[in-house]
Amino acid sequence: MHKSLVQDVVEYIESLILSGELSPGERLIEQVMCDRFQVSRSPLREAFRILENQGFLVNKARKGVFVREVSKKEAIDIYVIRANLESLATLLAVQKDDGSLAVNLKEMHRQMLCCAEEGDSWKYTELNREFHEVLISSCGNERLIEMLRVFSKQTFRYRSEVMRVPGKMEESLRKHEMLIESIERGDAVEAERLCKEAILANTALLEKVFSSGENRV
């Protein structure tokens, strides 16, 4: 029960960070958080440690726990790592595909298309995350899946900002369509290449996410 409670707190704080309700650099005051989640300090501190290990929080000596600020360079580095790991997962997923992967991804793509038509970048980003979750969870390598889920969460808030760039959702849809087509053909190497290129292309757009004169988000 204790582990379940800690995980609930972890997921709640994580969701507040990803949604932007908790901002980078914001201090998390223990008593306030305990009151908010209706928990004691022990599970809260354990949740803090987990989130610190995952790169969401930072514990500053004699100052407290803060939402971690990420530099532009670090954000780009994370994208590069994710691009290489996720493209590997894509290669493995297509190699072991029984024909159902493209079918599932097509349904996600259809929903993403509706969001793009409505101009809902936040919902599109969430569906895009789910699209890639379906893809990587099909690779069959549990350790790789676990690593990618952490990187996916760490880049989520940047991805939502990137999707606000004019024309980005439409470009994303085209790239996802090409990826699905390569999966339908069973072309694992092409799917791997498309996945890596699509993720790496977003690193240039991070310049727009980090406002001039700032080096963190």
- Mean pLDDT (the chain, rounded): 90
Looking at the chain, the domain(s) classified CATH 1.20.120.530 span 72-209
Quick one: pLDDT at residue 2? 61
Binned at pLDDT 50, 70 and 90, residue 19 comes out as confident
Residue 55 gets the label, from left (phi > 0), alpha (psi -120 to 50) or beta, of: left
Quick one: pLDDT at residue 215? 44
Alpha carbon distance 179, 190 (integer Å): 8
Quick one: pLDDT at residue 108? 94
Looking at the chain, the domain(s) classified CATH 1.10.10.10 span 2-67
Task: Give Dmax (Cα) for the chain.
Answer: 57
CATH 1.10.10.10 fits 2-67, yes or no: yes
Q: Kindly state the average pLDDT of the residues 113-128.
A: 92
Region of poorest pLDDT, from 14-23, 140-149, 191-200: 14-23
Binned at pLDDT 50, 70 and 90, residue 173 comes out as very high
The CATH T-level fold of domain 72-209 is Four Helix Bundle (Hemerythrin (Met), subunit A) (1.20.120)
Say yes or no to pLDDT of 216 above 60. no
Which has the higher per-residue pLDDT, 73 or 92?
A: 92
pTM: 0.78
Phi, psi of 58 (to 5 degrees): -140, 135
Token digits for 103?
Answer: 């079918």
